[in-house]
Amino acid sequence: MTTFLFGLAFFLLLNLTAGLGRVIRGPVAVDRMVAAQLFGTTGVGILLILAEAMEEPALRDVGFIFALLAVVVSVAFVKRGWVRGGEGEGDEPPAEEGSR
Amino acid sequence: MGIPMTPLEWGLDATVALLLVGLAGRILFTRDLFEATVLFIAFGLTLSLAWVRLGAANVALAEAALGAGVTGALFLTAFHRLARRGLAHPLDRQRYRADELHDRSSRGRADRGDDPKPALLDVGILHGPLWLRASMALAGLAVTGGIAARLLTLADRPPSLPILVEAHLAETGVSNPVTAVLLNFRAYDTLLEVAVLVVAMIAVGSLDRGSRAFVRDPEELEEDPVLDALSRLVVPLAGVAAVYLVWVGSHGPGGAFQAGALLAGAGVLLVAAGLMGPVTEGAAPIRALAVMGLAIFIAVGAGSMPWTGSFLAYPPGTEYGLILLVEAVLALSIAVVLIELFVDVPAVPHVDPALAKVDPTGDPLGRRISPDGAVIRNPDEER
């Protein structure tokens, strides 16, 4: 069972690494931000699995804090990092994205 | 971990380590400051996973609370400020530098975007002479090599400090060794750290008393039902979780810093949602809250001197209660200080009107840059 759990965590981590490509390639800010949010969700998954596999219940708390605060960065991005109404054509971020 | 690792665990740890180094390198060498900001948030998560794998759940928790909450928002805000001043985009930075020097001839060259530097390395050292850069690289390599060589030849001896802590844990009133070290064995360190936080807040607060970046602008504050409902859901949850973290800190991973950082994250949400106004403007209660942790800590430390004879030594039997009291008040103070550090930044001094309306996270002024640094399209030239 532990082997399976570690395998699952490893698989999720590889997923996360692949998702990094979107953060690096962009091209638009929203792409990077949403990829980073996905990073957070996958990370919480990894933490929950590791809590089970490593028999360390405190890791659930770590995952819980990440899940609770993931929204803060999204909100800061929408409110501060992202100025709506860009001039560059095709740079206009889709209106429905931005928060998780 | 005494148990031999399976190949899967080994792969997991190796991937985390590689990811950390790769992310750090990319953050330093990318030309896109926004990408660096987002990658830094991802870096925090990866770092947290690394702490988890090292068996340091306490540190992972602190990294989670700080990295996911305040730091990410702080970096995004810093990016926003740079963008508003025309400093976020590599091309803008070059033009800004040229303007600073009042060098109109080089400004024309900079506008064409020759030689954009990595965003975070866009500093003097890259323009230094070759011998200087080479000797700095050599010095860095020598230090790293020295540390690596020492680590590899280190005798395999178990560290003695954990044994010492373990032996005296029962006397501290708490069963979490990290809390025991932070608030009992080495309470002095923690006291001074809290003092540093308060001093940092005072320093930031005195930067510019004129205008504040986060003073609520009624025109800017449009009705935002989503944000409103969201913060009404998340903030109470964060409050409960913070109380839990302070309590759990006495016997497991948790504690004042983690709880404070979590509360600060909730505070950032309140500020962003406009539910919490400019708290700085002469708000004595806020300042009182910020120094309260330090004050209670000193009061407890000094107040128990008649019984124990030394500063910050708790009288036997009262350790648990006193530590919990200090931790609870510290958590509040740390939260207030962190929120103030986020809120109390002066307004952007100079905003380029041309940059006020463009999306700084994408391609400011609609320019595009190819991976090799050449400008593909520059509207300045089309004009």
- Taking residues B206-233, report their average pLDDT: 65
Residues of A in contact with B45 (CB under 8 A): 39-40, 43, 66
pLDDT at A37 over 80: yes
- Predicted local distance difference test score (pLDDT) of residue B308: 74
Report the gap between the CA of B131 and the closest CA in chain A (Å). 33
* Contact between chains at B360 and A83 (C-beta distance less than 8 A): yes
* Highest mean pLDDT (candidates B31-35, B57-61, B106-110, B158-162): B57-61
| Residue-wise burial string across B35-55, b where 16 or more C-beta atoms lie within 10 A, e elsewhere | bbbbbbbbbbbbbbbbbbbee
Asked if the Cβ–Cβ distance from B15 to A36 is below 8 Å, we say no
Distance in angstroms (rounded) separating the CA atoms of residues B342 and B214: 9
In a domain, residue A95? The reply is no
Q: How many CB atoms lie within 10 A of CB B243?
A: 14
Q: Does B193 touch chain A (CB under 8 A)?
A: no
Tell me the HSE value of B11 on the side-chain side, using a 13 A CA sphere: 13
- The per-residue pLDDT for B370 is 46
> Does the residue A65 lie in any domain?
yes
Residue A60 lies in a domain: yes
What value does the mean pLDDT take over residues B297-315? 78
Instruction: Label residue A68 exposed, middle or buried (CB < 10 Å: 0-12, 13-18, 19+).
Output: buried
Rounded to an integer, what distance in angstroms lies between the CA atom of residue A81 and that of residue B226? 18
Classify residue A13: in a domain, yes or no: yes
Tell me, yes or no, if A10 comes closer than 8 A to chain B by beta carbon.
yes
In this complex, the residue of B52, B269, B359 whose CB is nearest that of residue A72 is B269
pLDDT at A100 over 50: no
Average pLDDT over residues B199-212: 71
B190-204 average pLDDT score: 85
Tell me if A57 is assigned to some domain.
yes
Binding-face residues of A in 50-69 toward B, CB within 8 A: 50, 54, 56, 58-59, 61-62, 64-66, 68-69
Residues of A in contact with B371 (CB under 8 A): none
The answer to the question of residue A37 being in a domain is: yes
Phi, psi of B376 (to 5 degrees): -80, -40
Q: pLDDT tens, B63-97?
A: 888 887 788 888 887 787 777 666 666 555 555 55
Q: Tell me whether residues B11 and A56 touch, CB distance under 8 A.
A: no
Confidence of residue B50 (pLDDT cuts 50, 70, 90): very high
CB contact under 8 Å between A75 and B12, yes or no, is no
User: What CA dihedral angle connects B190, B194, B200 and B202, to 10 degrees?
Assistant: -150
Chain B positions touching A74 (Cβ under 8 A) are none
Is A80–B60 a contact, with Cβ atoms under 8 angstroms apart?
Answer: no
pLDDT score recorded for residue B127? 61
CA distances to A62, B13, B63, B182 from B51, rounded to whole Å, are: 11, 11, 9, 18
Range of the domain at A56: 2-80
Q: What's the pLDDT score for residue B80?
A: 76
Which residues of chain A lie closer than 8 angstroms to B64, CB-CB?
62, 65-66, 69
Please give the pLDDT value at position B1. 45
User: A62 vs B79: CB contact, 8 Å cut-off?
Assistant: no
Q: How far apart are CA A26 and CA B79, in angstroms?
A: 17
The confidence score (pLDDT) of residue B369 equals 46
B193 compared with B112, residue with greater pLDDT: B193
pLDDT at A5: 87
Q: Give A38-92 pLDDT, tens digit per residue.
A: 888 899 999 999 888 888 888 888 888 888 888 888 888 877 655 443 333 333 3
Residue A88 lies in a domain: no
Q: Which residues of A touch B272 (CB under 8 A)?
A: 72, 75-76, 79-80
Cα separation, B67 vs B76, whole angstroms: 12
pLDDT, tens digit, for every residue of B255-305?
A: 888 888 899 888 888 877 777 665 555 567 778 888 888 888 888 888 877
**Domain presence at residue A43:** yes
Write down the pLDDT at residue B97.
Answer: 52
> H-type helices in B206-283, by residue range?
225-248, 256-273
pLDDT of B152 higher than 70: yes
Assign B1 to helix, strand or coil. coil
Q: Are A72 and B69 in contact (CB under 8 A)?
A: yes
State residue B19's pLDDT score: 92
Over residues B327-355, mean pLDDT: 75
In whole angstroms, what separates CA B189 from the centre of its chain? 20
- Mean per-residue pLDDT, B103-114: 42
**B39, B61, B80 member nearest A81 (Cβ):** B80
Contact list in A for residue B237 (CB cut-off 8 A) is 68
Instruction: Using the CB atoms, write b or e for A19-43: b if 16+ within 10 Å.
Output: bbebbeebebbbbbbbbbbbbbbbb
Q: What is the pLDDT of residue B138?
A: 94
Using CB atoms within 10 Å of the CB of residue B23, give its burial: 0 to 12 exposed, 13 to 18 middle, 19+ buried.
Answer: buried
**pLDDT at B368 > cutoff 90:** no
Output the average pLDDT for chain B: 74
Q: So what's the pLDDT on residue B223?
A: 62
Whether the pLDDT of residue B345 is over 80: the answer is no
Quick one: what percent of chain B has pLDDT higher than 90?
A: 8
> What pLDDT was estimated at residue B139?
95
Averaged over B1-13, what is the pLDDT?
A: 75
Q: For B241, which of A68, A88, A89 is closest by C-beta distance?
A: A68
Q: What was the pLDDT predicted at B268?
A: 84
| pLDDT interval class at B211 (50, 70, 90) | low
Close Cβ partners of A52 (under 8 Å, ≥ 6 residues apart): A5
Which positions in chain A touch B179 (Cβ < 8 Å)? none
- What pLDDT score does B47 carry? 92
pLDDT reported for residue B356? 53
Domain count, chain A: 1
Which residue has better confidence, B3 or A12?
A12
**pLDDT, average across residues B126-155:** 85
Is it true that the peptide bond before A27 is cis, omega within 30 degrees of 0? yes
Amino acid A35: pLDDT: 87
- Which of A26, A63, A98, A14 shows the shortest CA–CA distance to B253? A63
